Amino acid sequence: MPQLALSFALQELGPDPAQHAERAEAACFAAGALAVSYTDQCDEPILEPAPGEFRLWPHARLEALFPQEMPPLELLLQIATALDMPLGSIKLAMLQDRVWEREWLVDFGPMRFGRRLWIAPHESLLDSGDDAIVVRLDPGLAFGTGTHPTTALCLEWLDEHLVRDTSVIDYGCGSGILAIAAAKLGASDCQAFDIDPQALTATHDNAAANGVLPRIRIVAADDSLTGSAALLVANILAAPLVELAPRFAALVAPGGRLLLAGLLQHQAAEVIAAQAPWFDVRPYRQRDNWIALAARRR
């Protein structure tokens, strides 16, 4: 059935969109919204937030879907009244009925990382060769499908390095893509940690769908992680990579490896300096102004 789509710019409600997002979302649902989402107006990157942090693009738009019969003017008035301010940069459109849950297949197909590792939707056909390692993953709410350069760099590193029969921690697991890839590549014991309940649910479901759930322990609290891992992978942000350096040192066994991603090239020096008391760190690879760092625990 067709739906009425309403969108407006969050930054016009105030300088920090994240501060106004919850109130604007609540106003839309109170007015009868069927769904609410956020989009970026300026193609600015956003990655996994730090623990306890809600992040939005600086120039974000809220998009809400309503039943087609709702009068647009009454709808706008109700939302503006609830927010006690006029809405800016408003866009209204009638969306025709489509199979929205399958629309992502148009843009998301099989992707290869390194020599053997593939990420592919469940319904896609893949002629990948006899030695291919295929992770089946559909885009969802949790971060991580392989399309972002930082995730791609981590997947390429995993494909190139021996992880068979090793213990792995995926710190900030998002969709679970890195833990699942490590398990598929032969890791004997994986721990996947995230503070986001949606990420933990996605990791559980994706691991089960890929047949590796018995080898992945999903962890909701940092202090539940067990140390002496042979490899810790953290694809988060530069600031938490700096703050968590002592914690990473406690979780990685002597001689173990650390793979860090989610940072821009100009942030690498600060992250390397933070890890230097415990790790020998070197750049692994750069892509589109992003960089991944590889380290060895002393």
Q: How far apart are CA 252 and CA 29, in angstroms?
A: 45
Reported confidence tier of residue 39, pLDDT bands at 50, 70, 90 = confident
Structure tokens at 222: 């940092």
Domain edge (last residue) among 97, 115, 136: 97
Spatial contact of 33 and 11, defined as CB atoms under 8 Å apart: no
Spatial contact of 176 and 170, defined as CB atoms under 8 Å apart: yes
**Domain presence at residue 156:** yes
Question: Do 91 and 149 belong to one domain?
Answer: no
CATH (domain of 176): 3.40.50.150
**pLDDT above 70: residue 251:** yes
**Domain presence at residue 273:** yes
Of residues 195, 159, 168, 223, the one with CA closest to residue 53: 195
Question: Do 82 and 197 belong to one domain?
Answer: no
**Domain presence at residue 289:** yes
Q: How far apart are CA 118 and CA 116, in angstroms?
A: 7
Range of the domain at 8: 3-97
**Domain presence at residue 123:** no
Question: Do 281 and 171 belong to one domain?
Answer: yes
Structure tokens at 44: 């600015």
How many CB atoms are closer than 10 A to CB 66?
19
Question: Do 73 and 207 belong to one domain?
Answer: no
First to last CA, the chain: 60
Question: Do 85 and 167 belong to one domain?
Answer: no
How many domains does the chain contain in total?
Answer: 2
Average pLDDT score over residue span 71-77? 93
One-letter identity of residue 137: L
SS3 159: helix
CATH (domain of 68): 3.30.70.260
pLDDT in tens, 181-224: 999 999 999 999 999 888 899 999 999 999 999 999 999 999 99
**Domain presence at residue 137:** no
Higher pLDDT pick, 232 / 9:
232
Average pLDDT score over residue span 245-267? 97
**pLDDT above 90: residue 38:** no
Q: How far apart are CA 297 and CA 166, in angstroms?
A: 15
Question: Do 155 and 59 belong to one domain?
Answer: no
Reported confidence tier of residue 45, pLDDT bands at 50, 70, 90 = very low
Reported confidence tier of residue 95, pLDDT bands at 50, 70, 90 = confident
Question: Do 68 and 183 belong to one domain?
Answer: no
Q: How far apart are CA 266 and CA 289, in angstroms?
A: 8
Predicted TM-score (pTM) of this structure: 0.71
For the chain, helix (H) and strand (E) counts, in that order, are: 8, 14
- H or E element, residue 269: helix 268-275
pLDDT in tens, 106-146: 556 788 999 999 998 877 777 666 789 999 987 654 456 66
